[in-house]
Amino acid sequence: MAKAKHRALGGTLVTPVTLGLAVLIGLAVFLLAKRFIFGLGSVTNISNGYTWGIWVVWDVVIATGFACGGYAMALVTYILNKGEYHHLVRPALTASLFGYTLGGLSVLIDLGRYWNFWHILSPAYANTGSVMFEVAACISLYIVVLWIEFSPTFLEHFGKSKALLNKVMFVFIGLGVLLPSMHQSSLGSLIIVMGWHIHPLWQTTLVPLLFLLTAVCMGFAVVILEATLAAVGFKRDITGELPMLAKLGKIILMILSVFLALRFGDIIVRGAFGSIFTSGWRSLAFLVETGLFAAPIWMLWKPENRSRLSVLFPAALHMLTGAVLYRIDAFLIAYDPGPGWHYFPSVSELLVTLGVIALEVLAYIVFVRIFPILPGHPADVRS
């Protein structure tokens, strides 16, 4: 056996941080008990005007975008065959695993008739023309694929052979790229059937491509973010990973340029350009969103900037904030239910979302301490 490239961090699981996370999770569990006894209205501010609140838009639409690290890294590492990124795959996959698993769990929380959820996977009920069917089925399957992709880590930890799994893994890697490509684009397509409810700056048949591009980009940005946070949080030296992160910065630069060109080209072709300036606070949301997408292009333009964590990190942060806003805009800000409706999440609603995020972070911390996930000593990661 060659020397281990991935190492469990070890260390104690009980720290002020993990305890704080546990408190947030406990609070969310209490509020969810209320939701399941008294209905969605007892905890949330959603209404028949704005029927999808942050439990859908943040916990699913945005959280699965954040969880695209595994997808994006698998794409460059295994499909474009850039073995050099190999060490970044496993931590990215771990974050994806929790992001998607908890995204799936959040769906169950938000579904009014959750006990019927299995209908999504039953051919007797499936409506193949429904965008929601495509999204739900793909996300469910992808969660399974993620656990399979992640399973070598368990086998390693428990000292079991991975030979058999390695022989068939390429099938799951293929699926692990196809499924997110399908549902991340379809998350955008969800708004097409909403027709006039969605403001023309966001309503376009190009929306699946725009969502797909931002999803891939979010994946790369999250990897940069994770690497930085893991370095700071676990006091690790990431000099060895920096050249790879720099290249991810370049990919982000390229995708964002294509994205903005498509975004504006589409708006101009559809004759919606004027509404950039005449749509009140929706104009403002569009401009802020666009600014956040444009900033990383400017920051990462010079090659020497891309190898500096002090530039890469804020660039990734701008990219992610822009993508978060783009998804909030498309589903909430751009959504016009007609006169008389308002939505802002309730405190309880926000606390549940916070609890889900806390659970995700806690699971990540526990896993990287117990299982061999993060790259080992810098000397090992040079390739």
Partner 1 sequence: MTINRRDFLRAGLVGTAAAVVGAPPAEARDNKTVPEHAIGLLYDSTLCIGCKACMSACKTANDLPLDDTTGTGLWDTPHDLSGKTFTVIKLYQDGASKYKDQVIDGFAHIKRQCLHCADPSCVSACPVQAMQKRPEDGVVTYNPDACIGCRYCVAACPFKVPQFQYDTAFPKIAKCELCKQRLADGKIPACAQSCPTGATLFGAYNALSAEIERRKAMVPGQANIFPRRTVDSGDTHERASAEYTPQVYGQSELGGTQVRYLAGVPFDKFGLPVGLPERSYAAQSETLQHSLYGGLYAPGVVLAGLIGAAWHGSKDHHDDEDGGPHHG
Contact positions with partner 1 (CB under 8 A) in 99-138: 110-114, 116-117, 119-120, 125-134, 136
- CA of 308: how far to CAs of 294, 300, 339, 361, 371, in Å? 19, 10, 49, 26, 30
Spatial distance between the Cα atoms of 294 and 375, rounded to a whole number of angstroms? 32
| Closest to partner 1 by CB, 93 or 222 | 93
Question: How far apart are CB 357 and partner 1 at their closest, in Å?
Answer: 22
| Closest to partner 1 by CB, 248 or 362 | 248
Provide the token pair at 87: 């060490």
Question: How many CA atoms within 13 Å lie on the side-chain side of 268?
Answer: 6
Spatial distance between the Cα atoms of 105 and 84, rounded to a whole number of angstroms? 34
Rg over CA atoms, the chain: 21
Q: What angle do CA 221, 68, 167 make, to 5 degrees?
A: 120
CB 321 within 8 A of CB 225: no
| Closest to partner 1 by CB, 155 or 354 | 155
152 binds partner 1 (CB under 8 A): yes
When binding is defined by CB under 8 A, the residue of 12, 37, 235, 304 that contacts partner 1 is 37
Question: How far apart are CB 22 and partner 1 at their closest, in Å?
Answer: 27
Question: Which 303-342 positions form the footprint of partner 1 (CB under 8 A)?
Answer: 335, 337-339
Stretch in the footprint of partner 1 (CB under 8 A) among 96-104, 186-194, 221-229, 293-301: 186-194
Question: Which 198-217 positions form the footprint of partner 1 (CB under 8 A)?
Answer: 205, 208
DSSP per-residue letters across 149-208 = HHHHHHHHHTT---HHHHHHHHHHHHHHHHHHHHHHHHHHHTTGGGGGGB-TTT--TTHH
When binding is defined by CB under 8 A, the residue of 6, 263, 282, 306 that contacts partner 1 is 6
Spatial distance between the Cα atoms of 193 and 282, rounded to a whole number of angstroms? 20
Stretch in the footprint of partner 1 (CB under 8 A) among 92-100, 172-180, 273-281, 300-308: 172-180
Question: How far apart are CB 114 and partner 1 at their closest, in Å?
Answer: 7
When binding is defined by CB under 8 A, the residue of 18, 51, 283, 307 that contacts partner 1 is 51
| Closest to partner 1 by CB, 198 or 361 | 198
When binding is defined by CB under 8 A, the residue of 28, 72, 73, 190 that contacts partner 1 is 190
Question: Which 227-286 positions form the footprint of partner 1 (CB under 8 A)?
Answer: 247, 250-251, 254
Question: How far apart are CB 178 and partner 1 at their closest, in Å?
Answer: 5
When binding is defined by CB under 8 A, the residue of 23, 42, 287, 301 that contacts partner 1 is 42
CB 325 within 8 A of CB 285: yes
Where do we find the tokens 């368990």? 154
Question: Helix, strand, or coil here: 374?
Answer: strand
When binding is defined by CB under 8 A, the residue of 8, 24, 28, 40 that contacts partner 1 is 40
Provide the token pair at 194: 């909403």
Question: Which 74-93 positions form the footprint of partner 1 (CB under 8 A)?
Answer: 76-84, 86
- For residue 71, give the nearest of 172, 198, 207, 187 by alpha carbon: 172
When binding is defined by CB under 8 A, the residue of 18, 181, 279, 321 that contacts partner 1 is 181
Stretch in the footprint of partner 1 (CB under 8 A) among 33-41, 95-103, 268-276, 321-329: 33-41
Spatial distance between the Cα atoms of 201 and 223, rounded to a whole number of angstroms? 30
- CA of 367: how far to CAs of 90, 353, 354, 363, in Å? 11, 21, 20, 6
Question: How far apart are CB 291 and partner 1 at their closest, in Å?
Answer: 25
Burial environment of residue 279 by CB neighbours within 10 A (0 to 12, 13 to 18, 19 or more):
middle
When binding is defined by CB under 8 A, the residue of 20, 26, 39, 314 that contacts partner 1 is 39
* Total binding residues toward partner 1, as defined by CB under 8 A: 85
Spatial distance between the Cα atoms of 222 and 227, rounded to a whole number of angstroms? 8
Question: How far apart are CB 71 and partner 1 at their closest, in Å?
Answer: 12
| Closest to partner 1 by CB, 24 or 103 | 103
Burial environment of residue 227 by CB neighbours within 10 A (0 to 12, 13 to 18, 19 or more):
buried
Question: How far apart are CB 243 and partner 1 at their closest, in Å?
Answer: 9
Question: How far apart are CB 240 and partner 1 at their closest, in Å?
Answer: 13
